[in-house]
Structure 1
Amino acid sequence: MTDLHAQVPSGPRRSRRFTTPIAVLATIAAFATPILLTAEPAAAAGPLRAAAAAKSRFIGYAAANSPLANEAAYRSIATTEFSQVTAENAMKWDGTENVDNAFTYANGDAIVASAAANNQVVHGHTLVWHSQTPGWVQGLSATAMRAAMQDHISNVVGHWANNPVVQSWDVVNEVFDENGGMRTSFWYNTLGQSFVADAFRYARAADPDAKLCINDYNVEGINAKSTAMYNLVSSLKSQGVPIDCVGFQTHLAVQYGFPSQMQQNLQRFADLGVTVRITELDVRIELPADSNEIAAQNTYYGNVVKACLAVTACTGVTIWGFTDKYSWIPDTFPGQGQGLIYDTNYSPKSAYTAVLDAFGGAPADTTPPSTPGTPTASGVTSSSATLSWSASTDNVGVTGYDILRAPGTSGGTFAVVGSSTTTSFTNTGLSPSTSYRYQVRAKDAAGNLSATSSAVTVTTSAGTGDTTPPSTPSGLAASGTTSSSTTLTWTASTDNVGVTGYDILRAPGTSGGTFAVVGSSTTTSFTNTGLSASTSYRYQVQAKDAAGNVSTASSAVTVTTTSGGGGGGCSATGTVQSTWNNGYVIQPLTVTNTGTSTITSWTVTFTLPAGHTLTGSWNATFTVSGQIVTAKSISWNGTLAPGASTSFGFQASRPSGDTSVPSGYTCTTP
């Protein structure tokens, strides 16, 4: 199994930090002499990104701003070896909004600009986490905290929403404890589990195109924690929450063994309809490292890549840094280190070769495509222009084109504004009566980039079309409100040309917070689902027309959902997942709505055999009286439509030689 660890405040480099297990502390205490780094075998040539691209995967690294800006050796490796970038700290809450409503994006923008210039994509990290979140957030009331979360996500995701380089986000990070229960963070203690779904909805409203992920550690193999993650993702998907991917951090240590059934674990998540990715890979060694530890480290790196390659839905692997010079490991685990694929002098190690070989070795193709022809513009309007160009050629094959844009007729900096797999591209969202310059570059599967084409200048028209917004919708009212949904209706707007639809906006609580779009409708009604029980929300509606004009928002209506509970019956069936001499795991313990109406909570009761003791549980709230165990639904898995199911589980100890397990599960609803 991998080590059990929990985050603690960051050190001087503001990298991710973990506390050290007691067993590891005992090992560290045994060292009485200085720890020396051990030289490792030289590595084969890359680049890694070409090998990964040949397998339709990305290979990424976590970027630190200072060396990226100031060290040529670091920058050279970072921009040539990797196709994906995760900001190590620049996009976290304390890096973007350390003071309430004072947003700073310079460090994040620098990483995005570097990625854009080097044909890389960016994964945003992280929006909602219990660590590196300023103290001003942690002490807020429930209403104010939810509003702060929405404001933060709307601003941070919105800042990069129109930048094609930023393609995905870790929306929530590390929400489980080691037993598979919800981590008792200030988020959970104040808001309950509903903060997870709300964070995803806020992120989707801020960027409809980004891939939205949940991320955690010690979930690489099949265990209680990964099963809790699996059940949460399944539940979120069933509720229509916009979750697209699952991140497996994969901080490994050779002394704890490789995660059990990693490939099978990735696949079971993929079967839920999400993509999966390795997000923070490193493999630490107890120092001084010997040849056996280095060989094990190389095997681990190779195994992780091979597990990803074996699962079609695994999009790639990100290493948490790449050089031991800037690794978080030695500061957090004294006596351990050498966890990355480059040493402190920026020389590739044998772990580099292990990653390269697992991807199939370096492709032979190092030839860039030819330069595309100068683009020409057509169909220029006040807000868009269509570009076309003559195709590039390549010794293997062109896979697409990047479109770069600079402001004005001279000066400024070209930045990627889109990509195309054809020889045309329409750039929308431009300003009227404004000049822009465009270039195009080609790319191939090995990551080779052509030179940029000559530039074409485009000036948009003055925009003399429809500029009249629709009238403000009126009469907004709510009906049919339950513990998890409400239906809104309103009086239609009018427009000089015609209304094309309505946006529905929602804010948390009865006051404060920020309204964000949660849906749209082409009629004058909308049902908002996935709400939390006994919670207040405010809604507004605004109309829009074909020209993109938007009305002012309607007056707000406040809706308070009902408490949990509901009609219907339920059943419970337990499955023995595993047993050993003095214990067992029951997973899944499946709850099914056997009634004809939706239930909004359930209670399962069972009896532990004499001498058996509950030692762990997940996805339900457990109470024990003698040998009688009562498990109640939690916020996200209590609502079940007729015929629908959810699951939870537990672990128990028993006397040695006793082979009995619980039975006779009963399920009731309020």
Structure 2
Amino acid sequence: MQRPPTLTALAVLAALTALTACGAGDDKDTEAPTTPSDVTAQAGSATSVHVMWQQATDNEAVTGYEVFQKGKKVKTLPAGKSMVDINQLSPETAYSFTVRARDAAGNLSKPSPEIAVTTPAPTPDDEKPPTSPVKLRGKLDGNAVELSWGGATDNTGVTSYDIYQEDSRIHSVPGTGTTARVTGLRPGTVYTFTVRARDAAENSSADSNAVDLTTPAAAGEGPSTAPTGLRATARKGNIDLTWTPPKSDEPIESHELYLNGKLATTIVWGALPADGKAAYTLTVSDPPGTRYSIKLRAKLPDGKWGDFSAQRTVVVR
């Protein structure tokens, strides 16, 4: 018959349990993330402000960001975000914002320095958009790009310029600026940038010209496998496409065509395109004025899909 544990045995067990709990506590993450840097706040309209920052780092991982207006939390964002629009503000009013990073253990970074911004006066009758920015240019600098453009004009004044990578706004600068630096680019990737001007009534211009840039491949990786020279011309009911397939020692016989970010069709030739050029006509049925974003990628001889081409945007007639 088994005897019950003695008082001494129970004491030892309690001590071991306490030591185990203490050791588990030693593993708890108590290190806070770094403070988000380069925080900017730009009035996008009379009632909105666009806040941006450079992402923070953490010994484990940053899981999100919190944006504060005068000590009051106004936005919570996931780790992948580094910008946000704060809406429903008052016209002609001074605001200040700070940003803090958060990790999985709940540790918060120190708040960034306060950034002040004043919303402009409302322009309720303004329905005229600015002109498009012109002569957009881009220059790669490692994993970053320096963009510059010619300024737009507006009947009430340009309040900001929005930088787009494909169809996603990734950065904004004040209406007095005509340059931007975009960081965090991936190696061996094709990027397509455009810029739009915006006024205080939230009217946005049409896109500037597009700039395509391909970042250098990472060490040990081969050249880009993206199709190049994509051109898209819209006409009634159709979009005519031409491009150059990626270089390969074996024939490239098919491409996937993406429309507005979704696979639209797979193009397969019975015979290979002559002179290294490819052409295809896409039939569309949406009404005139519909905007399409188009890109494609090739099926490589090893059976894998290659890199995406630069994106082109057209409006059907």
Q: TM-score category by the smaller chain?
A: 0.3 to 0.5
Structure with the larger RCO, 1 or 2 (CA within 8 Å, 6+ apart): 2
The structure with the largest strand share of the pair is: 2
The structure with the largest helix share of the pair is: 1
